[in-house]
Amino acid sequence: MRDAASLESDAAGHIASLMAAAARTAPKTRGIDNIRVVAVDDAESKERLCAKMIEIAGRENRPGLARDARCIAAAPAVIVIGVVANPAKLDCGFCGQKTCDALQAEHGVCAYNSIDLGIAVCSAAATASQLHADCRVMYSIGYASLELKLLGDDVRQALGIPVSITGKSPYFDRG
């Protein structure tokens, strides 16, 4: 016989896998697959991520990162979704540059990369919601993940989503 805590932890891990699938299959600009996803679901990786968030909180006077680190420390799984810096080659100017080549020369980020990241994150969060798991999109997780290079050197934007299954959402009263 398994207790509720064990079942809930397993469910959170399974839901995180489905969230990763939703993020990867989300629509992308021009069909270019530039989304990267990792799950932070083991104790060592979560401790490393939390420590980095707390380090940044102190270094940059961002107390929200330390608060969020406390929230995710108890989460069975955290999904990190990032987007590779990859201009869409549309020369649309949405990024503030006249051409994609000018954007690359400035080491900027394509506006469509941000859009692709948003769609992937929304797809993942919607999956968690449909499966009745608590989650919250956190820039703080993405920020620390970029410093840790969890998604590689070519990812310049990322967001994180901790997943929890408890009687009350740990992301509601974070104060």
Identify whether 30 is part of a domain. Answer: yes
Q: Let me know if residue 157 belongs to a domain.
A: yes
Q: Bridge-partner residues for 138, per DSSP?
A: 160
- Phi and psi angles of residue 151, each rounded to the nearest 5 degrees, phi first: -110, 5
State which residues form the domain around 11: 4-164
- Residue 174, domain member (yes or no): no
For position 47, which CATH number holds?
A: 3.40.109.10
Mean pLDDT, residues 39-63 taken together:
96
Cβ contact 162:77 at 8 Å: yes
Contact 95/109 with Cβ under 8 angstroms?
yes
Find all residues with CB under 8 Å of 75, minimum gap 6, and list them.
12, 46, 162, 163, 164, 170
Q: Is residue 101 one of the residues assigned to a domain?
A: yes
Residue whose tokens read 């380090």: 55
- The answer to the question of residue 89 being in a domain is yes
Instruction: With respect to residue 173, please indicate whether it lies within any of the assigned structural domains.
Output: no
105 lies in a domain?
yes
The residue count of the chain comes to 175
Query: Residue 22: inside a domain, yes or no?
Result: yes
Q: How far apart are the C-alpha atoms of 147 and 60, rounded to whole Å?
A: 13
> Which pLDDT does position 87 carry in this prediction?
85
Beta bridge partners of 112: none
pLDDT digits (tens, 9 = 90+) for 114-158: 999 999 999 999 999 999 999 999 999 999 999 999 999 999 999
Query: How many domains is the chain built from?
Result: 1
Average confidence (pLDDT) over 101-105: 93
Structure tokens at 87: 């201009």
Side-chain-side CA neighbours of residue 54 (13 Å): 11
What is the average pLDDT across 28-47? 94
